[in-house]
Copies of this chain bind each other. A is one copy, B any other.
Amino acid sequence: MTLADVAKMAGVSKQTASRVVNDSAQVTEETRARVLKCIEVLGFRPSALARQLNSGRSYTLGVVANAEIGYLTNGAAYVGMVRQADQLGYALLSKEMREFSRSSVDIMLNHLIERHVDGIIWAGPEIGDSHAWMNDYPIDDLPMPIVVINAHPRAGVDTVGFDNFLAGKNATRHLLSLQRRHIGHISGPMQRWVSQQRWAGWRAALEEAGLAEEQSCYVEGDWEVTSGGPSLRRLLDVCPQLDAVFVGSDRMALGVLHEAHRMGLRVPEDIAVMGIDNDPQSAYFMPPLTTMHQNTVLMAEVALRLLVRRISERRDEPYPAACAEAEATVLTHELIARESTLGKSTA
């Protein structure tokens, strides 16, 4: 059913039919009614495709992520984006990247350009130099704006994320404030920027406290629950007097709690455990897990609003009111203190 069919049936021109569809004022009530009836009868739906073709807007945003889109959504971030997009009248096109070579970046961008997305949320994790292309390939040359999530801030690129250095530092400070002096760290994969930042924060806090010699108490995990236990064991090998661990994710922290229990270590008496993420389940671990909360839903929403704003700006259009505030690029974290570091134990 095309607009032409409607027009023919109503005995008017395509243009008049188009005017009815778009609520133009220049149509007699009588004509409007007639056309509307024909639309109803024929079950006509305007083709967004055709519209997009000559308006140059698709009202579609591309989301580039990798398998971690799963973790994105663990924290419900993806839901946040979908919802926010919906509210602003956009749809989301999801693409997954499996590797981060320069050529696969190009493939991804081309896909999105071909599909005329109005803007891109770059949610791929920053692994090694996976974001380097943004330096030598000026983003302003792309036909649409990009907002990058949870990555190293860089000049000329809009980023929205957390200060993971500070989060790591504050987490460690919390352990220090509880008189722990042998504080180890189990990081996520160290090619990843987020992991590096948290690790650096941990080191900085130790240094600040004059405990520089503890900085070797560190093991690299993979962010999965399975790597928590083995990492704890390795950490104890390196650093037998360990009395606290700052773990790079709540999932790994669960593995740590599990293993500590099996080894007969009491948490927090023998060893305090601190996570980061604040998964909904962490409050129900045994003992409940102290952790650092980062509001990833908010991150997703802010990023999306910022993107929509940039899109409007490029076209010299006013942007939706909801997007006006979208300046915040570094979001705050929050300490959630629970029993895995605090006084009384349930173990």
Measured CB to CB, the residues of A under 8 A from B are 45-50, 52-53, 58, 60, 67, 69-70, 72-74, 76, 78-79, 82-83, 86, 91-96, 110-111, 113-116, 224-226, 228-229, 251, 254-255, 257-258, 261-262, 280-281, 283-286, 346
Inter-chain CA distance A45–B115, complex, in Å, is 10
CB-based closest 9 A-B pairs: A73-B73, A48-B114, A258-B284, A82-B96, A70-B76, A92-B94, A48-B115, A45-B113, A70-B79
The answer to whether B47 touches A116 (Cβ under 8 A) is: yes
Distance between A182 CB and nearest chain B CB, rounded to angstroms: 24
Given contacts A92-B94, A251-B280, A261-B286, 8 further A-B contacts (CB under 8 A): A47-B53, A47-B114, A49-B52, A49-B115, A50-B53, A60-B115, A70-B73, A72-B73
Inter-chain CA distance A283–B58, complex, in Å, is 45
Inter-chain CA distance A254–B114, complex, in Å, is 46
From B60, B82, B92, B96, A86 is in contact (CB under 8 Å) with B96
The answer to whether A93 touches B92 (Cβ under 8 A) is: yes
Report if A281-B114 is in contact (Cβ < 8 Å); known contacts: A49-B58, A73-B73: no
Complex interface: chain B residues within 8 A of A67 (CB): 76, 79
Complex interface: chain B residues within 8 A of A113 (CB): 45
Inter-chain CA distance A318–B115, complex, in Å, is 25
Inter-chain CA distance A45–B144, complex, in Å, is 14
Inter-chain CA distance A297–B83, complex, in Å, is 23
Inter-chain CA distance A226–B282, complex, in Å, is 11
Q: From DSSP, what is the main secondary structure of chain A's interface residues?
A: helix
Complex interface: chain B residues within 8 A of A72 (CB): 73
From B46, B262, B284, A225 is in contact (CB under 8 Å) with B284
Inter-chain CA distance A258–B262, complex, in Å, is 17
Complex interface: chain B residues within 8 A of A93 (CB): 60, 91-93
Chain B: CB-nearest residue to A86? B96
Complex interface: chain B residues within 8 A of A224 (CB): 280
The answer to whether B94 touches A45 (Cβ under 8 A) is: no
Inter-chain CA distance A48–B93, complex, in Å, is 14
The answer to whether B69 touches A94 (Cβ under 8 A) is: no
A-B contact pairs, 17 of them (CB 8 A): A45-B110, A45-B113, A46-B114, A48-B115, A49-B116, A73-B73, A74-B74, A78-B78, A83-B96, A86-B95, A86-B96, A91-B93, A94-B94, A228-B284, A254-B281, A255-B284, A258-B286
Inter-chain CA distance A130–B82, complex, in Å, is 21
Chain B: CB-nearest residue to A282? B225
The answer to whether B73 touches A78 (Cβ under 8 A) is: yes
Complex interface: chain B residues within 8 A of A78 (CB): 69-70, 73, 78, 94
The answer to whether A79 touches B53 (Cβ under 8 A) is: no
Complex interface: chain B residues within 8 A of A52 (CB): 49
The answer to whether B79 touches A116 (Cβ under 8 A) is: no
Complex interface: chain B residues within 8 A of A48 (CB): 114-116
The answer to whether A79 touches B86 (Cβ under 8 A) is: no
Distance between A66 CB and nearest chain B CB, rounded to angstroms: 9
Inter-chain CA distance A285–B261, complex, in Å, is 11
Complex interface: chain B residues within 8 A of A286 (CB): 257-258, 261, 286
The answer to whether A91 touches B115 (Cβ under 8 A) is: yes
Chain B: CB-nearest residue to A229? B284
